A = this chain, B = another copy of it.
Amino acid sequence: MRTDRVGARFFVPGPTAVRPAILREMVRPMIAHRSAEMRELLARVYVTLPSLFGTRRPVYVASGAATGMMESAIRCGSRERVLALVSGAFGERFARIAESCERSVTRLVAPAGKTVSAEALADALEHGAYDAVTAVHVETTTGVIADIGAYGRVVAAHDDVMLLVDAVSSVGGVEVAMDGAGMDVVLSASQKALALPPGLSFIACSERAMARAVTLPYRGVYLDVVRMDEYWRQGETAGTPAIPQLYALDAQLAAIGREGLVTRYARHAAMAGAVHEWVSEAARRGRGVGILASEELRAPTVTCLTIKGDAVRLVHLLRARGFEIGAGYGALAASTMRIGHMGDHTVREVRALLGALDYALGELEA
């Protein structure tokens, strides 16, 4: 199958494919980062971005990767004792970052393909004194989506506990209801369901999170949300932003507005559905393939496939057919692979990938 859409065969779960029209937005001359022109650009971004986070709070934009914003959430949103909900490598990264910032961390670890239940969270908060809970909305390494709303209701029953959420693989592809679900800090990045090149990351804080942040000493400077807020109030960014990605973000937010969030989220659900359907059908035909995530926990943006046989070789076989997907992550590298069906991909493109995957699985099993 041929396609004229560059990136139509690129299904890595981040960085995701970027449409050529969006890439071309980056080829514009530099502008000063403290200029009127930049403030106009940022004004559009600052007005639009919160809808993707489901918040009326500001969303700050910074140059850098999401790991930096995870650290920002920890340094500015937690005090001493962190309860980390771990359902994959990024949940574990959140926990390690907290430890690296001198927080005492307790982990609740879900089995592979599961999330930590709201009941387990409630129980832990009942029996331990924590001031923050870290959670990952869509865990990119296992393809599970957590019920953040349920977490939010549990956390709301405890005074002075903040809910810090990694929404890296959800913002732009799945509804993120920051205000409605009681999230205190939500972070994301450009190179996932927003379908932009990497280089920008985002963070939003509830009023009470911001009130806590100002009381915390030694937050540093670069990842300090209080400083980000000061610049946001002036319509600027704290540091020199990745200007090409800002141009691209501006254009992409306009395109997302034209598509409509409801339609965009439905498209992601349909892409995930196409993958789930194909796996059931392939399994029925005896192909050695399954889905890691429990049925009720499958993310609309990324699927982690379990492979009977050499998953690493399967990724290479697909590459030979012109399709790029993600290898399994960490301990799951040998037995899983990941399809990022997010951003600007279409159901048709996903089906083309699945066709190629079927052939590649046949080659693997032959």
Contact = CB atoms under 8 A, between A and B. Distances in A.
A63 B198 contact: yes
A218 B67 CA distance: 16
Interface stretch (A20-28, A264-272, A347-355): A20-28
Contact of A27 (B27, B198, B238, B243): B27
Contacts of A327: 34
A64 interface: yes
Query: Interface of chain A, helix or strand or loop or mixed?
Result: loop
A12 B243 CA distance: 14
A7 B27 contact: no
A1 interface: no
A67 B6 CA distance: 35
A103 to B, nearest CB: 9
Interface string A186-209: 000101000001110000000000
A97 interface: yes
A33 interface: yes
B15 A32 contact: yes
A67 B15 contact: no
Given A15-B240, A240-B15, A221 B67 contact: yes
Interface in A128-154: none
Contacts of A14: 240
A274 to B, nearest CB: 22
Given A7-B29, A64-B64, A101 B218 contact: yes
Contacts of A10: 29-30
Contacts of A34: 327
Contacts of A75: 220
Given A32-B12, A245-B242, A220 B17 contact: no
Contacts of A20: 27
Q: Looking at A18, A20, A245, which has the most chain B CB atoms within 10 Å of its CB?
A: A245
Nearest to A12: B32
B63 A218 contact: no
A26 B27 contact: yes
Interface in A1-57: 6-7, 10, 12, 14-18, 20, 23-24, 26-35
A239 B14 CA distance: 12
A26 B23 contact: yes
Interface residues of A, number: 62
B65 A64 contact: yes
Contacts of A7: 29-30
Q: Looking at A63, A219, A221, A324, which has the most chain B CB atoms within 10 Å of its CB?
A: A63
Nearest to A20: B27
Contacts of A244: 23, 26, 197, 199, 244-245
14 contacts: A12-B30, A14-B240, A15-B30, A26-B26, A26-B27, A62-B65, A63-B65, A65-B240, A67-B238, A68-B223, A68-B239, A70-B222, A97-B221, A198-B240
Interface of A: 6-7, 10, 12, 14-18, 20, 23-24, 26-35, 62-68, 70-71, 75, 93, 96-97, 100-102, 189, 191, 197-199, 217-224, 238-245, 324, 326-327
Q: Please provide the 5 A-B residue pairs with the shortest distance between their CB atoms, ordered closest to farther.
A: A199-B242, A65-B239, A64-B64, A68-B222, A198-B240
